[in-house]
Chains A and B, each alone.
Chain A
Amino acid sequence: MALDAAPAQRRGLAFDGVAIAAAVATLICAAPALAVIGFALAPGDGGANFGGELLRDGALGTFALMLVGGGGAILFGAAAAWLVSLCGFPGRSAFEWLLVLPLAAPSYVLAYSYASFTWAGGWSPIEVRGFWGAAFVYAVGLYPYVYLAARAAFASQSACALEAARTLGVSPGKLFRRVALPMARPGIAAGGALALMEIAADYGAAQHFGLTTLSTAIFRAWYAHQSLHGALQIAAVLLLAALAFLMIERRARGRASFAGGSTRWRPLPRYQLSSLAGAAATAFCVALVTLGALLPLGWLARLALLHANLGDVVQPFVNTIMLATLGALVTLVLASAIAVAARRATGAGKASLFAAAMGYAAPGAVIAMGALALFAVAREAGWIGGLGTGLALAALFWCYAARFAAAGVGPIDAGLARLSKGLDASARMLGAGPWRRLARIDLPIAAPSIAAAALILFVEIVKELPATLILRPFDFDTLAVRAHSYASDERLLEAAAPSLLIFLAGLLPILVLTRGITRARAGLRRAEAAPAPQAGAR
């Protein structure tokens, strides 16, 4: 028996095209980040001497912001997801999608907007500035990453476990702590990891609020100290820290057992909150939506009206949609291959998840520098020419994949977590090859997650600035580029309209995304297939 199994396994490996595709995809996604680490390790101009403790202060700054801003985002996101998924209160169904709105607003836009209306002479008595200001902007701007992932997790939970707990007389708070939360932990962790890495990678908001983080330290070393090598060294620290963070997060998640339990799905039972608790829940959701989107964007709308000259935003808008659509597709294909293969693999194969995902924690400009350096190597070898339009766009899509793979890999991997190991093993025993299992088992099971990942990627690329800025072709502006041009020239009135359009461009997919999650619940799909008694329950 053992003698038979060994050759079969070898044969299986030799023909595993999915694994090979995933290996190539991982290489594509990780190459720019690995190039940055490689150049940082190479002997350089000894740029480490900045005459101060730049690296230390940057690391402390990033850590503190992740702790406070990221902690806030995780708390807000998880609580909001719990409320709209499992409780009933006034406005709940509207908040289901309203709560996602801040996802479409980049942190730098929120920071500029808050600075504009709360700083000197602004009408707000509370100034949003400094460390606490940045932490606040991250918390109210990034909680949707956690909210989305946690909601998907709550939505796919077995109703039976919750009902069993309820039958045993567990209070709503306790149910959340003891049953729902542990079961949603992988989702919350995945969303939280994205939010934390967003904070690590953010340059615009941290710089505007005058903070020293690893990201601002990178640009200080590069721009002020004129040491690109020193900047890459700081970037390498950031990337390696992200890698370690992702592995620790995965290990911690791995220890928690959250196997699906029952596979019988029914619409989730909902707690009808008392009128007082309901009002508090409504107020909480209103506050999140207002602070994360309505207030700062309303202010931008006012500025945009003051400068009632839209200028030429049509072409940038079209360019933005084009880049985001194609970029999301490219990244999605790569991310799907990586996630599926990693789920099947053991040991080293799993590492591809982290390698592909670490780019999410680095500023886009750093990833772009890694890509540019590799491009230079290829050009010197005579393989390619200058960065003409075609090559520039290709490089740009490459950078999007390298930067955002985590936003695709994470959700898809979480979606695949619902797949029991036994199912894959059974299919293998029945002689299904790797591609067939991909098409018939993995992709259908992960379909809602893949759709969600596609839309998150779309929004990410709509918001993306630095890689687009440096790698785009001539006379090719996106909305983010246009907004940046004006904002960096301190023309906030002119920057307001393109900033608002960034938000609007991201809004449509977000609405699709939320509808998708609501309907993705297996119970509902089955209920639709067979005329169901509980069709009205959502």
Chain B
Amino acid sequence: MPFNLSRRAFALGASATALAACSPATESSEANFVNVYTARHYDADRALYAGFEEATGIAVRALTGSAEQLLERIRAEGDATEADLFVSADAGNLWRVKEAGLFQNVVTPSLEQNVPAHLRDADGAFWGFAKRARVIVYNKARVQPADVATYDALATARFRNALVMRSSTNMYQLSTLASRIERLGAENARAWAAGVRANFVRDPQGADTDQIKAVAAGEAQATLCNHYYFLRLSQSEDPADRAAIANVGLVFPDQAGAGTHVNISGGGVTLHAQRRDNAVRFLEYLVSDEAQTMLAPLNSEFPIRPAIAPSPELAALGTFREEDIPLDALGRHQAEAARIFEAVGWR
């Protein structure tokens, strides 16, 4: 009897399999396409793919995953790789692919014209197309904006037992500390990380959104996060999220100093790209007027081009000065940043 039942279950599964095989899913029939390995998995990106196909007739086939694992897949595939383009939401990861020798340098007039020099690789291995700021979010009832005007403030006794922070395994924490190592040296970075660590309310848990909610609920006074998580909560379909965001404010730190830390979403053409021209066209499309205008309202990231007006929600956050360091520093100093975090007990 159990066998009969399971046989029926298998028959069900088998018919589903046949269904899947018949559906127009996996292999794109169009000859004209480009393959993208991407560590970004936003709905916004699917809109970009559709826009690109409409503009050029070139279909985008995407494989999403973590940047580190996609890199290993490209490495394992060698010159037989399916990937034409590698996209990531962190300059450090892009740098790693470059270091592995798996990007080819691409320089075209439109890319050079559209992407500011400090938001792309000096050799043209990868190009930014959107940027994110690492901001401080604070509890309005307990903190004045002036108290959190700098990243340094978070390491002072003012915030003793008053901070929540995300794990330092996260790439944005790593890139924040890597940029400090680049500007001020490892000793300074270590002292800062130790100071912030000493101010924790509790060990790191959850992601950026969880930290913002903890600050809103008064469990802590301030935290570091990417600017768009703040925006998303304020636009959330969950009324509890919108109520929470009313309790917190956002500051772009270091405006009087080096500027707020920014990271890029960017991409590069793989060394063994089989559809190099299509890949370059897609990169160019990502920094075109159309894509840049589309990206901000969809995903709340800042356009890479200063000339493109941000969406009204983004504009409401105000303008800010961003730090100006070589992007590859975020990759070069990442392992050291991880060691510093490890040593000060911020894991």
Contacts and interface: CB of A to CB of B under 8 A. Distances in A.
B16 A321 contact: yes
Contacts of B3: 447, 451
Interface string B24-54: 0111100000010000011100000000000
B238 A376 contact: no
Most B CB within 10 A of own CB, among A222, A326, A451:
A451
B63 A472 contact: yes
A509 B343 CA distance: 48
A207 B170 CA distance: 10
A519 B26 contact: no
Contact of B26 (A379, A389, A455): A389
Contact of A129 (B64, B205, B238, B339): B205
Interface string B307-347: 00000000000000000000000000011001111110101
B157 interface: no
B254 interface: no
Interface residues of A, number: 88
Interface stretch (A48-56, A160-168, A234-242): A48-56
B205 A209 contact: yes
Interface in B61-94: 61-66, 68-70, 72-73, 75-78, 80-82
Interface in B162-207: 167-169, 171, 174, 202-207
B146 interface: no
A373 interface: yes
A209 to B, nearest CB: 6
The CB with the most chain B CB atoms within 10 A, among A329, A447, A474, is that of A474
A470 B66 CA distance: 8
Contact of B206 (A115, A469, A528): A115
Contacts of B78: 376, 379-380
A50 B26 CA distance: 41
Interface in A321-357: 321-322, 324-326, 329
The CB with the most chain A CB atoms within 10 A, among B76, B229, B334, B343, is that of: B76
A212 to B, nearest CB: 6
A488 interface: yes
A489 B17 contact: no
Q: For this complex, into which size category does the number of interface residues on chain B fall?
A: 35 or more
Nearest to A51: B339
B62 A474 contact: yes
A50 B206 contact: no
A418 interface: no
Nearest to B171: A223
B281 interface: no
A380 to B, nearest CB: 7
**9 closest residue pairs by CB, A with B:** A325-B13, A386-B80, A516-B2, A210-B205, A52-B342, A51-B339, A485-B41, A120-B217, A224-B338
Interface of A: 49-52, 54, 115, 119-121, 129-130, 207-210, 212, 216, 219-220, 222-228, 303, 306-307, 311, 315, 318-319, 321-322, 324-326, 329, 365, 368-369, 372-373, 375-376, 379-380, 385-389, 447-448, 451, 454-455, 458, 466, 469-476, 481, 485-486, 488-494, 508-509, 512, 515-517, 519-520, 525, 528
Given A210-B206, A223-B66, 15 more contacts: A119-B214, A121-B216, A121-B244, A130-B205, A225-B342, A228-B68, A322-B20, A326-B17, A387-B77, A486-B41, A489-B41, A490-B208, A493-B236, A509-B9, A519-B1
